[in-house]
């Protein structure tokens, strides 16, 4: 079973996605991150991109 954390407003953060990934939960990350923030987060935690929508 796939669970997706579809947060409202700006709750879907990279940190939340990282924590929820330990429980095999996909996180809908909020839209206010810049390309640079996405790149830094993926560089810091490469497996994060697998569990992010």
Q: Which of 23, 12, 1, 22 is nearest to 52 (CA)?
A: 12
Express each pLDDT in 6-47 by its tens digit: 767 777 888 888 888 888 888 888 888 999 998 898 888 877
**In whole angstroms, how far apart are CA 37 and each of 23, 29, 31, 48?**
24, 12, 11, 13
**Quick check: pTM over 0.75?**
no
């Amino acid at each position: 079973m796939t669970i997706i954390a579809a947060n409202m407003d700006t709750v879907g953060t990279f940190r939340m996605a990282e924590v929820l990934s330990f429980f095999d939960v996909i996180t809908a990350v909020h839209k206010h991150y810049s390309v640079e923030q996405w790149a830094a987060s993926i560089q810091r935690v490469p497996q994060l991109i697998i569990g992010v929508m």
